[in-house]
Amino acid sequence: MINATKNYFHFLWRCGRIAFVGDWRYYAWMGILSVIILLGINAYAKQFVHGLMVTGMSDQVSWGVYIANFTFIVGVAAAAAMLVIPVYIYDNKELHDLVIFGELLAVAAILMCLAFVTVDLGRPDRFWHLIPGIGKFNFPGSMLSWDVIVLNGYLLLNVHICGYLLYCRYQGRTPSKWFYIPFVFLAIGWAISIHTVTAFLYVGLGGRPFWNASIVGPRFLASAFTAGPAIIILALQVIRHVTDYRISDKALLTLRSIVQVSMLINVFLLFNEVFKEFYTRTSHVAASNYLYFGLHGFHALVPWIWTAILFNIVAMFILVLPMSKSLKYLNVACVLAIVGIWIEKGMGLVIPGFIPSPLGEMVEYTPSLNETLVCLGIWAFGLLAYTLFLRMSIPILQGRIAKSNEGASDDHLFAAGQKSDQTTASPHVTTTHI
């Protein structure tokens, strides 16, 4: 027992050490991210002192970019499931090795979600009121309390799966199926639940007709399963570029077909929503009117939403056409889809829910500089976390950090963050049986 603990801490220590090691590009990247994070912390410190006054929010528009980004990123986290489903349900070998990258992305994304919710709180010092058992948890009444449970549960599930698989790999033993397969399947269902619950957060508000529509949930899932895998496609190419970890084009193209189908569904659902609102033209159309065309002379969101729609439609065409079998076009489509959905599922969903206000008042919202800096800081934090996770896990997957080479120095790893033909590196493992 004591030995096992010792082993485990040694493993953690080696992981921690490797995080500080890399080539100049690694340092530059981490340096830039750290600077942005510090700017974000600085902005948050101001908000902490002076209150949410320093944001662009008001009593009329009481949620802004924090919750908008939160909503988008929950989708990204949920999308890890789209890597797992083909592997474990359809037994797709191509994606097998990549599952862990998806799950690590989910972990980073959930950390970002928690950060976004925390910075949105007026009284972060009272966060403990939210802890079941100690605080007072309005469960199952409040959708927000559901969200607390599903997000943290998802975080734990993914940390467990990644951590267990990586540690087994490190020790060179085959993972016991009982220790992770049930959790993998649980995580698949859970992934869908985190996004559904987040959608219900909005759908459950009868006083906000823009959100109180049953199509919001399905649209959340469709857009998440578009943007999430699109992000993974890009991330995998970056990994393949800056490390010598091999990822086949075929794996990327498998993801392409997921993005393709989800995007078609996404655009179809959007069309459904637009039809219902504008064909019937009940008084509830006001918010949609504001979003797409502007209302009573207010139209801050109009250029944004049309950009999003344009991006989504162009991305859809590229994805459907055979041209996106070339990575160049696939990447363009992915970027367009991510930006499009970020606008549409973020600001495009949250802000019109508040405009006009329930009493018909028109008050617009623009994020303040301080608020933007906090957001950038959290994005940088997410990227930093993901980079760190990859930095630690790739050498383990490749067998460069393993129990068998525990005594040896990790010096050879100083180069492991890049393409190199080091002779000291352990034999390259191409099929990782996870």
Judged by CB under 8 A, the chain residues 73 through 132 that form the site for another protein are: 120-127, 129-130
Contacts of 197 (CB under 8 A, 6+ apart): 143, 146, 147, 150
Closest to another protein by CB, 237 vs 307, is: 237
Q: Is there binding between residue 317 and another protein (CB under 8 A)?
A: no
Closest to another protein by CB, 257 vs 424, is: 424
One of 408, 428, 430, 433 touching another protein (CB under 8 A): 408
CA of 239: how far to CAs of 81, 98, 166, in Å? 20, 11, 17
Number of residues that bind another protein (CB under 8 A): 71
Task: Name the nearest CA neighbour of 220 among 78, 317, 63, 64.
Answer: 78
Tell the smallest beta-carbon distance from residue 58 to another protein (Å). 8
Task: Give me the residues paired with residue 298 across strands.
Answer: 295
Considering only the stretches 16-24, 179-187, 213-221, 327-335, report the one whose residues sit in contact with another protein under the rule CB under 8 A: 16-24
**Calpha distance 161→171 (Å, rounded):** 16
Closest to another protein by CB, 253 vs 415, is: 415
Tell the smallest beta-carbon distance from residue 80 to another protein (Å). 25
Q: Is there binding between residue 398 and another protein (CB under 8 A)?
A: no
Q: Is there binding between residue 433 and another protein (CB under 8 A)?
A: no
Q: Is there binding between residue 206 and another protein (CB under 8 A)?
A: yes
Binding to another protein (CB under 8 A) within 174-203 occurs at: 201
| Token reading at 21 | 């090691």
What are the phi and psi torsion angles at 229 (to 5°)? Answer: -60, -30
Tell the smallest beta-carbon distance from residue 52 to another protein (Å). 5
One of 10, 93, 135, 181 touching another protein (CB under 8 A): 135
Q: Is there binding between residue 297 and another protein (CB under 8 A)?
A: no
Closest to another protein by CB, 150 vs 338, is: 150
Considering only the stretches 55-63, 98-106, 164-172, 266-274, report the one whose residues sit in contact with another protein under the rule CB under 8 A: 55-63
| Token reading at 16 | 């921690």
One of 1, 5, 59, 91 touching another protein (CB under 8 A): 59
**Interface pattern 325-364 for another protein (x via CB under 8 A):** ----------------------------xx-xxxxxx---
Contacts of 292 (CB under 8 A, 6+ apart): 274, 302, 305, 306
Closest to another protein by CB, 58 vs 331, is: 58
Question: In 20-94, which ranges are continuous DSSP H helix?
Answer: 24-50, 65-78, 81-88
Binding to another protein (CB under 8 A) within 213-242 occurs at: none
Closest to another protein by CB, 52 vs 222, is: 52
**Calpha distance 55→182 (Å, rounded):** 43
Strand, coil or helix: what is 298? strand
Q: Is there binding between residue 137 and another protein (CB under 8 A)?
A: yes
**Calpha distance 175→149 (Å, rounded):** 28
CB 264 within 8 A of CB 253: no
Task: Name the nearest CA neighbour of 65 among 351, 411, 431.
Answer: 351
Tell the smallest beta-carbon distance from residue 25 to another protein (Å). 8
Task: Name the nearest CA neighbour of 181 among 89, 267, 243.
Answer: 89
Name the residue with tokens 């599930």.
Answer: 157
Q: Angle, nearest 10°, between helix axes 249-280 and 302-320?
A: 130
Binding to another protein (CB under 8 A) within 140-179 occurs at: 141-145, 148
One of 6, 12, 28, 62 touching another protein (CB under 8 A): 62
Q: What is the dihedral of CA 381, 386, 392, 396, to 10 degrees?
A: 170
Task: Name the nearest CA neighbour of 8 among 156, 170, 155.
Answer: 170
One of 12, 13, 28, 51 touching another protein (CB under 8 A): 51
One of 156, 205, 239, 314 touching another protein (CB under 8 A): 205
**Calpha distance 362→296 (Å, rounded):** 8
CA of 329: how far to CAs of 225, 264, 316, 326, 342, in Å? 19, 17, 12, 6, 20
Tell the smallest beta-carbon distance from residue 339 to another protein (Å). 25
Considering only the stretches 52-60, 99-107, 216-224, 265-273, report the one whose residues sit in contact with another protein under the rule CB under 8 A: 52-60
| Token reading at 378 | 């959290």
One of 34, 174, 176, 366 touching another protein (CB under 8 A): 34
Closest to another protein by CB, 51 vs 182, is: 51
Considering only the stretches 107-115, 138-146, 216-224, 249-257, report the one whose residues sit in contact with another protein under the rule CB under 8 A: 138-146
Q: Is there binding between residue 136 and another protein (CB under 8 A)?
A: yes
Task: Give me the residues paired with residue 295 across strands.
Answer: 298
